[in-house]
Amino acid sequence: MRQEHHIARALPPLPLDEWEDTKETLHRYCQIAGKVRMELSPFRNHWWHLTLYVTTRGLSTGPIPYGNMTFDISFDLLENKLAVTTSDEGEFSFALDDLPVAEFYRRLFDGLCSLGIDAAINTKPFDLDDEYMLDENTFHCVCDREYARRYHRILLWVDQVFNEFSGRFNGKTSPVQLFWHSFDIAVTRFSGKQASLPEGTDSVTREAYSHEVISFGFWPGDQNVREPAFYSYTAPEPEGLTTYPLRPEAASWLPEGGTALLTYEQVRNSASPTKTLLEFMESAYQAGAKSAGWSVKTLQTHPPDREAAKLEKDG
């Protein structure tokens, strides 16, 4: 309980109205870095070759192959800077404080060129109502250090809880990863069954949802949901999904579709944030798995009891 109390106090508020300018700028920075990874990395199913990962200091592409070397693009959200390092000791970095997106683009690609890395991306923002190309956008230019740090603290905790939840499933599971197109961190479980998609489904969606999934995520808010929240959905959505109860009581099914929602503030202010989030994810999983006919018992893991294992070792 003492640890949970500390976690509850450690999770900061993240009101969308106060940090939306920073969020929108950081979102576009991440799209640029993610597009570089996508262009140079080998393809992986469900677009897993383009995502970003939470690190001790921020977000990273992880190693990107280029010829006989690799490089990574990392956002240090503690110091509010971007850093690029290569396997042959090349590196550069620059500050993100109030840096326009177009200038971020220029500094990143000039730096990559200085390291002998020839990269090019589609500069049209993906799935954003944006009149600016990424290499021309001087409108989004706010990256406040305090809110970047708050966001990172939350991502660190979410990443830990999502990884704990991943260990409870015996089937195919995605990495815990941040999708830069929608700016949400997510983890997804698969039944192993191929999904039937409607005729005319676009290629991006067809690859993402080629198989039955139950997905869980966190996003910091958008035009439709004006506060950070946790979500879960089952795709394809099975009949009767929303008739199953969710936990805790504050969780609910969105009326316009089969998405389960629990706000970040409700989790943050609970007596045990980790327990509350795990309870929400498990209830959403049970709803999706049972209504879709997944083999719940077969797909469940039985992790060893850490305290029992420690006693046995010490004994």
Q: Tell me phi and psi for residue 6, to 5 degrees.
A: -65, -45
Q: Which residue has the tokens 């383009």?
A: 50
Per-residue model confidence (pLDDT) at position 20:
97
Strands of the sheet with 252-253, listed across from one edge:
177-179, 184-194, 211-219, 229-235, 259-263, 252-253
Give the SS3 label for residue 9. helix
DSSP states along 48-59: TTS-BEE-SSEE
Rounded to an integer, what distance in angstroms lies between the CA atom of residue 88 and that of residue 116? Answer: 11
List, in order, residues 6 or more apart from 206 with CB less than 8 Å away.
197
Does the pTM of the predicted model rise above 0.75? yes
Sign of CA dihedral 265, 266, 268, 274: negative
Rounded to an integer, what distance in angstroms lies between the CA atom of residue 190 and that of residue 283? Answer: 16
DSSP 8-state assignment for residue 161: H
DSSP 8-state assignment for residue 293: T
Beta bridge partners of 187: 216
Residue 178 contacts residue 54 (beta carbons within 8 Å): yes
Strands (DSSP E) along 64-110, which ranges? 64-66, 69-76, 81-86, 91-95
Residue 124 has a CB neighbour count (10 Å cut-off) of 13
Where do the structural domains in the chain lie, given as residue ranges? 146-292
Kindly state the tokens that stand for 111.
């730096």
Rounded to an integer, what distance in angstroms lies between the CA atom of residue 215 and that of residue 187? Answer: 6
Rounded to an integer, what distance in angstroms lies between the CA atom of residue 262 and that of residue 218? Answer: 10
Per-residue pLDDT of the chain (315 residues; tens, 9 = 90+): 445 544 445 899 999 999 999 999 999 999 999 999 999 998 888 878 999 999 999 999 999 999 999 999 999 999 999 999 999 999 999 999 999 999 999 999 999 999 999 999 999 999 888 889 999 999 999 999 999 999 999 999 999 999 999 999 999 999 999 999 999 999 999 988 877 777 777 877 776 767 899 999 999 998 888 999 999 999 999 999 999 999 999 999 998 888 999 999 999 999 999 999 999 999 999 999 999 999 888 888 877 765 545 545 554
